[in-house]
Amino acid sequence: MEIIIAKNQEEVSKIAASQIIKEINKKKCFVLGLATGDTPLDTYKELIKAYKNGKVDFKDVKTFNLDEYLNIGKNDVNSYNYYMHHNLFDHINIKSENIHLLSSDSKDFRNTAIKYDKLINENNGIDLQILGIGINGHIGFNEPDNKLLLDTHITDLAQKTLEQNSKFFPDIYKMPKQAITMGLGTIMRAKKILLLVTGERKAPVIAKCLRNNEINTDIPASTLLLHNNLTILLDEEAASIYLKEKKMKENENFNKKYPNYKREFNTA
């Protein structure tokens, strides 16, 4: 695991885009896993800028999105289908047949989920998966629970997620209460994972995720600690609690190893 701490969200986005571009340029027919939400928006802007400047070519890139709300029209401004086209796909030279989005209006979501995982496997898996983290520790829409599902599946959205989403839906009665999401197994099979975490409001959850070096289903993102090629990219606000706790732990370990250091130093 590598943890990179950047100054602010702008720097996080530039570093993330640089890493994504580097990986795409290494391999023909690159498979990219995409996330939605506020966090990756600036990264997508950087990718668009890089494409327009000739630094990256998306014509052979294939994409798979993490999740989608259930029973929402694909042209609805709150659908992830709309989000991806509006914020990335419509501005680069990716082929429409290489874009894979989870359906929000399927009559058989179970079969949709099975086919989605099968299609990912047929493309030799995801080369790089971009992720964000919810304030309750979810990744994709894998919400905190006493068990976590491995494959793509239907899920009920947690109360904290619904509260966060309410700002996007003026009529809360029409707000989706369920989603279809990649499972933890699908995500963890990605060859490389890039977790983006920005803003002060994410500081408590990422600190909690990293605090005890353990896996906890109450923090689904903690499962990422098992991945052998994980990069966590934080801005200073998101890293604030983690850095404070890390320094306290380092001081505690030092004092245990050198219990007389302060006394000897003061009497010298």
Task: Provide the domain limits for residue 55.
Answer: 2-267
| Both tokens assigned to 212 | 């005890």
138 is an active site residue: yes
What pLDDT shows up at residue 74? 85
Cβ pair 8, 236 in contact under 8 A: yes
The catalytically annotated residue of 81, 138, 153, 235 is 138
List the beta bridge partners of residue 175.
Answer: none
Give the total number of structural domains in the chain: 1
Q: What burial class does residue 89 get, using C-beta atoms within 10 Å of its C-beta: 0-12 exposed, 13-18 middle, 19+ buried?
A: buried
The residue to which tokens 């992830």 are assigned: 80
What pLDDT shows up at residue 174? 80
Cβ pair 155, 141 in contact under 8 A: yes
The catalytically annotated residue of 143, 153, 227, 235 is 143
What pLDDT shows up at residue 267? 41
Across the chain, which has 268 residues, the per-10-residue mean pLDDT values are 96 98 95 96 98 97 96 88 97 98 80 94 97 95 94 93 84 86 96 98 96 90 97 97 88 66 48
67 is an active site residue: yes
The answer for residues whose C-beta is within 8 angstroms of residue 97's C-beta and 6 or more apart is: none
What pLDDT shows up at residue 254? 56
Instruction: Name the region of 206 (left: φ>0; alpha: ψ -120 to 50; beta: rest).
Output: alpha
The catalytically annotated residue of 136, 142, 153, 235 is 136
Helix (H, G, I), strand (E, B) or coil at 63: strand
What pLDDT shows up at residue 266? 45
The catalytically annotated residue of 42, 46, 65, 67 is 67
143 is an active site residue: yes
91 is an active site residue: no
**Could you give the CA distance from residue 216 to residue 145 in angstroms, rounded to a whole number?**
9
* CATH number reported for the structural domain that contains residue 133 in this entry: 3.40.50.1360
The answer for residues whose C-beta is within 8 angstroms of residue 185's C-beta and 6 or more apart is: 149, 150, 151
**Could you give the CA distance from residue 149 to residue 67 in angstroms, rounded to a whole number?**
14
Q: What is the pTM of this model?
A: 0.91
